[in-house]
Amino acid sequence: MKIRKGLILALAATAMLSGTAFAEESEKTVTILGTSDMHGNIWGYSYEDNAETANNGMARLYTYIQQVREENPATFLIDAGDDIQGTIMTDDLYNKTPEEEHPVITAMNYMGYDAMTLGNHEFNWGIPTMQQITSQASFPVLAANVKDAEGNYVTSAGWTITEREGVKLAVIGVVTPDVPIWDGGKEGIEGCTYEAASEAVKTAIAEIGDQADIIMVSAHMGLVAEFDEENGADSAQKILDDNPEIDILQVGHYHMVVEEKQGETVIGGVRNGGRDIARFDLTLDADNQVIDSSVSVVDMTDVEPSQEIRDIPLIAEAHQKTIDFINGGSGEDGEGGVALGSTTAKFQPEDEITGIPSGRIMDTAVMDLINKIQLENSGADVSAAALFKNTSDLPEGDINYGNIFDIYKFDNTLYRVTVTGKELKAYMEWSAECYNQWEPGDINISFDPEYPDYLYDMFAGVEYEIDLSQPKGERIKNVMFNGEPLSDDQTLTLAVNNYRYSSALKSLNLIEGTKEWESSNSIRDMIVEYFAENSPVEPEVDNNWQIVGVDLELDNPLRAEIIEKINNGEIEVPYSESININDYEADAGKELKSLGNLLDTLG
């Protein structure tokens, strides 16, 4: 009996060990790769700079995607939108001929996407154009919260289920419902309904039921609401709060790295232009139940671009066609390298501190040129415009289309609207919120990282000061119009682009008036015309505005020492947080004291 009992115990132990091993072997890892906001950057090339990039582009993404697929056959590839807009290739060539094969969709087909969610920029040319271009996709294009007048999905799909290695992934796509705010006048936009994202997701989850093992929401919006702060119709956080059963939440639109976990849900988002890819790794048990998950955002710096992507005939052709277009100045000029005009000097000053753009802390010739052109074309009293890219500049000498695109990268049209002095000041205060408040001892001006650069407008036609010693909402001082203080009840006309009019002035209730005039051509076309008629153009700065209320320790020798270390890469660029001379001195004192104690010990 003892022998039999021992044998039974041994067999039981073996069975338990075998069962454990079997359970471990039956677990599987599924990887979901998420891209977003690629904005037409296929090659990894800056057409406005006529130069290869080192850290972005769909070709780089594909190199990494291939590596992951080799590691794990159970890999899915999902995109969260804003892909067919953003470069000279897309905006000035292929989006104007939607009946032709589109290079971005061609590249995405080759890369093997499982699904794509619409972004708001997919609507920029109207719904028929969007539908023509996205219909070329060999994968589902999703928008669960946008339906046409007949109640059908605008892309014919709101969600999809795809299977790999025996695992079924359900992907629900939702776009920010704020599309009409930006593109309300475009063909077909007003005829659709735009449902709150969380409600559309709830409906989709009910429709999916138990058909999928993993539920993923691909949301073209940030976690925080952009306009609907009260109800969260455009908030990805609201989606998750209302639908906690979601396994993966992909976010986009804000061009920010998001890498977090809330409860059992992993959340990831990337920057723009193919700068990063979000990687979601999920562990499933033998019943395909998710038992663990993680998220990481992988930077594409130093990743070699895929030559496979670049060698696709249409991609190679589109790339060269774009370069020829830039050199020629227009599609009709051919490849002759015809300049659009010329300048007598550069338009941007050099940055004193690397990474702190001079173009955002002082008046510059670039912004004065754009505002001057807007004033001349609109006949308005005051103009507002943004520096869309901190490094935007015009070189000395000949100017081509790439240079124009560099200083004005969007296809915005120009509006003229009547505003009161009070409304204009409120608009200026909103714009000045991009800065952090200056503190005594700060050696540099810094910027609130929650405010994207493109939200900061600079104004012409008025003189004004921005007092950064004051909190947000109390910074605009000494506003002068025609040599006199601007009164709150005074009326004047404002030139502003269609995007800012809709997404800020009206949606934030900054003004009551409506547009009284709209240009028939884009602001970028106006700049092209200006160079054709006025070259050579001389950089001019009227210094109508300045930052006040700051003492940047200009006479302190430590400031020069700190700036030298920043410019040499020894200290991180203080873009979102100023370096304070008092803290720096205190830290230096601690280091000296620590070194002294060490020397005493050794002595």
Given a contact cutoff of 8 angstroms between Cβ atoms, the answer to whether 495 and 414 are in contact is yes
Residue 456's CB is within 10 A of a number of other CB atoms, namely: 18
Mean pLDDT score, 90-95 = 94
Q: Name the β-bridge partners of 79.
A: 35, 116
List the one residue out of 48, 449, 93, 61 whose CA is nearest residue 273.
61
Q: How confident is the model at residue 587 (pLDDT cuts 50, 70, 90)?
A: low
3-class SS of residue 547: strand
pLDDT per residue over 51-80, tens digit each?
999 999 999 999 999 999 999 999 999 999
Average pLDDT over residues 202-230: 95
**pLDDT tens for each residue of 307-346:** 999 999 999 999 999 999 988 754 444 333 468 999 999 9
The three-state DSSP-derived secondary structure of 167-233 is: EEEEEEEEECCCHHHHHCCCCCCCCCEECCHHHHHHHHHHHHCCCCCEEEEEEECCCCCCCCCCCCC
85 pLDDT band (50/70/90 cuts)? very high
Give me the pLDDT at residue 597, please: 53
Q: Which helix (H) or strand (E) holds 277?
A: strand 276-284
Strand, helix or coil at 299? Answer: strand
Task: Report the distance separating Cα 182 and Cα 499, nearest Å.
Answer: 5
Q: Which whole number is the average pLDDT over 216-220?
A: 98
CB 175 within 8 A of CB 81: yes
513 pLDDT above the threshold of 60? yes
For residue 193, give the nearest of 145, 143, 225 by alpha carbon: 145
What is the mean predicted confidence (pLDDT) over 365-380?
A: 98
Is 60 exceeded by the pLDDT of residue 1?
no
End-to-end Cα distance, the chain: 77
Please provide the average confidence, as pLDDT, over all residues in the chain: 91
User: Which two structure tokens, joined as six digits, stand for 134?
Assistant: 């996205």
Q: Which of the four pLDDT bands, split at 50, 70 and 90, describes residue 243? A: very high
Residue 458's pLDDT is: 98
| pTM of structure | 0.80
What per-residue confidence (pLDDT) applies to 534? 97
| pLDDT above 70 for 594 | no
The count of other CB atoms within 10 Å of the CB of residue 134 is 25
pLDDT tens-digit profile of 480-490?
999 999 999 99
Least confident stretch, 101-115, 138-152, 420-434, 510-524: 510-524
Strand 484-485 and strand 476-481: pairing?
A: antiparallel
Predicted local distance difference test score (pLDDT) of residue 505: 93
5 pLDDT band, cuts 50/70/90, is: very low
**C-beta of residue 32 within 8 angstroms of C-beta of residue 216:** yes
pLDDT of residue 24: 54
Is residue 15 over pLDDT 60? no
Q: What is the pLDDT of residue 590?
A: 52
pLDDT-above-90 percentage for the chain = 80
Query: What is the structure's pLDDT at 22?
Result: 43
Structure confidence by residue, pLDDT tens digits, 489-508: 999 999 999 989 988 998 88
Q: Please determine, for residue 359, whether its predicted confidence score (pLDDT) is greater than 90.
A: yes
Question: Which of 236, 225, 162 is closest to 201 using CA atoms?
Answer: 236
Percent of the chain with pLDDT over 70: 91
In this predicted structure, the answer to whether residue 8 has a pLDDT above a threshold of 50 is: no
pLDDT at 596: 45
Task: Give the model's pLDDT for residue 598.
Answer: 42
Q: At which residue do the structure tokens 């396994």 appear?
A: 247
- 223 touches 191 (CB < 8 A): no
pLDDT, tens digit, for every residue of 455-474?
899 999 999 999 999 999 99
DSSP string, 97-165: -TTSPPHHHHHHHHHT-SEEE--GGGGTT-HHHHHHHHTT-SS-EE-TTEE-TTS-BTTS-SEEEEEET
Q: Which tokens is 40 given?
A: 């037409």
Q: What per-residue confidence (pLDDT) applies to 135?
A: 97
pLDDT in tens, 559-584: 999 999 999 999 998 999 999 999 88
Reply yes or no on whether the pLDDT at 599 is more than 60: no
